[in-house]
Structure 1
Amino acid sequence: MLYVKALHIIAMVCWFAGLFYLPRLFVYHAMSEDNVSRERFCIMERKLYRGIMTPSMLATIGLGGYLLYLNPYWLQMGWLHIKLLLVAILIGYHHMCGAQMKRFARGENPRSHIFYRWFNEIPVVFLLAIVLLVVVKPF
């Protein structure tokens, strides 16, 4: 079980690395003024999303599900319900990033780099909340 937990944490770290970096790429993409830069950002965003973020998200979810299978009594704990809700919202954020990546690829971007600077901070709040819930187990 400790190996599964370790792999779950590693997958989560990889997923969050992408969740932190992709919106930062959006900031730079929104600020770019030439086609070469825009095309480069599209390639970087696509490779990050498809090659790192999505597989890491799936591994995080799969390994987390396996941990719950091994320890079903965790489902009786309130902190886990909140954590799972936050993870579900984070999955939605992941897909919002994917939708924005596709808009950039089509040459559509109605937002400024300032919006993406704020958008980039969302996963930080979720990481803090999830780690605190798992470590402190307040409920």
Structure 2
Amino acid sequence: MTRQAISQCGVPSASSQWSSINWHQVEEDVFRFQMRIARAVKAQRWNKVRVLQRLLTRSHQAKLLAVKRVTSNRGRNTPGIDGTRWINPQQKWHAAMSLSCRGYRAQPLRRTYSKKYRKNNVLLTVQDYAQRLPAGSSFEGKSI
């Protein structure tokens, strides 16, 4: 890690932390959790399913992967209803660290018309960035 990446108090910056994530390991950990949930469902161990879903949605790896998926999919350049986009690594890191189920209030959707190639108008329904997260479905009790 470079001296520029470390702040005055000795803690790495958010952008360097985002860049140093081992994505293969993160995806593997989340996949392993999902397989544990699938095995518990197959065995009809519903209490175990509920506990594993809660662990998955609150896990650090699931939050990181959710932000990565939202910021790398096709709609990444469309700002949400709140007008924000997570473009640089620092914004992505802070978004992942700020995800939690407590106090979550869904915002209304914004409907806008967009001109597309060889089409007149296409109606788009835009959410804010936090609602686009796969982990956002965890607020209804589902996992990623």
Which structure is richer in relative contact order (CA contacts within 8 A, separation 6 or more)? 1
Bin of the TM-score, shorter chain as denominator length: 0.3 to 0.5
Name whichever structure is richer in helix by fraction.
Answer: 1
TM-score, length basis structure 2: 0.34
Name whichever structure is richer in strand by fraction.
Answer: 2
State the structure with more CA Rg: 2
